[in-house]
Chain A
Amino acid sequence: MHWSRYRLRLCVCICLVISAPISGSSGPKQLTIFSDAASFSLPVREQGGREYVDLMEILRRFGRTDTRSDHDRWRVTLNNLTVEFKNGKTRFKVGKSDADLSAPFYLENGMGYVTVDSLTTLLPPFLQTQVTLHQNSRRLFVGNPAVHFTAQTSGTALVLNFSSAVNPTISTEPGKLRMSFSREPLVAPGTERLSFDSKVIPSAVYSEENGTAAITVNGSAPLFARFSNDGRTINISPAPQGAAQAASTPTVNQGNAPAAPPQAPAPASSPIPFVPVFAVIDPAHGGDDRGEQLSPQLAEKDVTLAIATRIRQELQARGMTAVLLRSSDITLAADQRASAANRSQATVYIAVHAVSLGSGVRVYTSLLPASGDSRGPFLDWQTAQSGYRTFSQAAAESVAAEVSRRQMKSRTLVAPLQPLNNLEMASVAVELAPRSTIADLNSPNYQQTVAESVAAGLAAAHDRLRKP
């Protein structure tokens, strides 16, 4: 029997189909979209050598959407405009007219995917505004939400002024301080490489990669970042001698926290300078840990981050330094959170949670376990909080009083919640429940009211949160 080439090709195709799921892999690429309403990131998948994104995942952030799938046709409606796609085709219908995508649309499990570069064609009719794509870095700007910055030296310091408040993740390595802006629509200055007439800080470089913008400051000495002007100004200066030992792992420094260099140890004879931080704010969950799925579109981890950021701003507005344990969607274990908080030597720790059950705000302090064996200067990890419960209760009661003052329900309780037991400072957890509907949890007004309550409560209890 003679086999034809056709049959052989068929066999090879079958082998490839069998092996395809094994060899398939997904990369960590992401697209970040900035708009006046919100900034968010979503995963990018590769198909046929092109970068695709879930169109519905984008559109639903801009309003109520409706989708219909009929065999290989997929229709989506937003803001009274209906667009119809056909699986595997570049041509699509906008209302009654036709247009073309730069690459075929494809449909998978009821979800429609378009290439990243197609978004500049697709989104303007839906959103009635201009859309700009930084293709190499996958950063998409809807409307004109740009944050600009200027950089100038002042003495030995570099002063960066931003057109609105920023909250970058700061990391350091010898001779460099890097600020990553994942949520801010930061745009490049006139030139990407900035040179300064300074021997300590000779240059800085602006770059964009995988949805994130970064400013890398080059220095001849370990550098230190300090925030002011409500997050609109960052002063970068040589770190005080010895601050190096305050380096933390994981790198979760935010806001006013010093970005301490991981090297250059302090001379043994000099005391380690202490940069006081009043509050460590911990947006619960994050990364793989989504927390409660509050609604099909709303995860607890996103709400906690939004509220925590507002609390930080409110504390700063009252003249108190505050840092976030995470400012992006990263996974942190409870022990990592406790270690980072303890290292900061802050006065108070605030964990932020959100929940669909009940209404109002609940404020928790620790419920200590049965064990506990502190020896000398070493505290038992599970009961490290035991010496700070009076301060924690003072913080909780003060926050609850401020919540009640704003006509919201409040309740103080103890709870077996990690990592409250492991903290060596006044520690509370704030659990925000809706005022009336789940949508309240995502309401800027509601979040702001709660943030003001927490900040006011902590400010009122300021002198009762640690030993005099």
Chain B
Amino acid sequence: MIPRHLIFGTAAMLVIALAAGMYAWHLRRQIAHQQIQTDVSHPASPAPQGPMEQVTLWVAEDDPGTLRARAATIPMPSGRQERAEELMRALLNVYTQESSPHPIVPTAEVRTVFLVDPGLAVIDLNRAFAEGHRSGILVEELTIASMVQTITANIPGTTRVKFLIDGKSQPTLAGHADLSITYDVSAIQQLASVLQNTP
């Protein structure tokens, strides 16, 4: 015969273990739910409004590792900040196509672009953009250069560009390109002039 206190003790442990397990499961679901809410809490980008305008997109091409200016016609809002966001979305749209010359994961998004006077543009990208980005000095540099060039070609007065991932600064894009610094537009323009030459 098993002593009664052992039976009760074991039963109590089982109940506690099950209750703790259910509580942990409940907490995980709650966190996951909150995460989903957080992910969608920023306003979904509205369909772009405004007259169609011709803009210049600086498009990276992995083969042969160059940067090319490409004209595109997209609807452009009137506000400077909204214009900057639409430019970035148009550029990402090129990169997330199947036939992209510089593939970026389809889940990559521009969360927002802040234009801070004097001359600072802050581009906030989502986590998927960084986590899905390919690793390598040139491939990361092409992404940075194409985004900075596209902003500066269409938003006059931009002199510096800073990148954030999910609202935070991070050391690198995918292990190489430095995201901790604020980019000097003139330095990127010099780089872009070199990247236009086919090696």
Contacts and interface: CB of A to CB of B under 8 A. Distances in A.
Q: Do A and B associate with each other?
A: yes
Interface of A: 2-5, 8, 11-12, 14-15, 18, 285, 289, 291-293, 300, 334, 353, 355-358, 362, 364, 367-371, 382, 409, 411, 413-418, 421, 429, 431
A11 to B, nearest CB: 5
B137 A369 contact: no
12 contacts: A8-B6, A292-B136, A355-B139, A357-B136, A368-B187, A369-B183, A382-B181, A415-B176, A416-B144, A417-B137, A417-B177, A421-B181
The 10 closest A-B pairs by CB, nearest first: A369-B181, A370-B184, A292-B135, A355-B136, A416-B178, A370-B160, A411-B199, A370-B182, A11-B10, A431-B137
B137 A364 contact: yes
A358 B13 contact: no
Contact of A415 (B135, B141, B160, B171): B141
B134 to A, nearest CB: 7
- Secondary structure dominating the interface of A: mixed
Contacts of A292: 134-136, 175
B63 A418 contact: no
Contacts of B183: 369-370, 416
B106 interface: no
B121 to A, nearest CB: 12
Contacts of A415: 137-138, 141, 176-177
Interface stretch (B89-97, B109-117, B188-196): B188-196
Given A413-B194, A413-B195, A8 B2 contact: yes
Contacts of B63: 358
Contacts of B184: 368-370
B135 A414 contact: no
A291 B17 contact: no
Contacts of B178: 369, 416-418, 421
A358 B138 contact: yes
Contacts of B82: none
A358 B138 CA distance: 9
B135 A291 contact: yes
Contacts of B137: 353, 355, 362, 364, 415, 417, 429, 431
Given A291-B135, A367-B187, A429-B137, A358 B175 contact: no
A356 B136 contact: yes
A12 B183 CA distance: 61
Contacts of B157: none
A421 B176 CA distance: 13
A94 B194 CA distance: 60
Interface in B140-177: 141, 144, 159-160, 171-172, 175-177
Contacts of B182: 369-371
Contacts of B138: 355, 357-358, 362, 413, 415, 431
A412 to B, nearest CB: 8
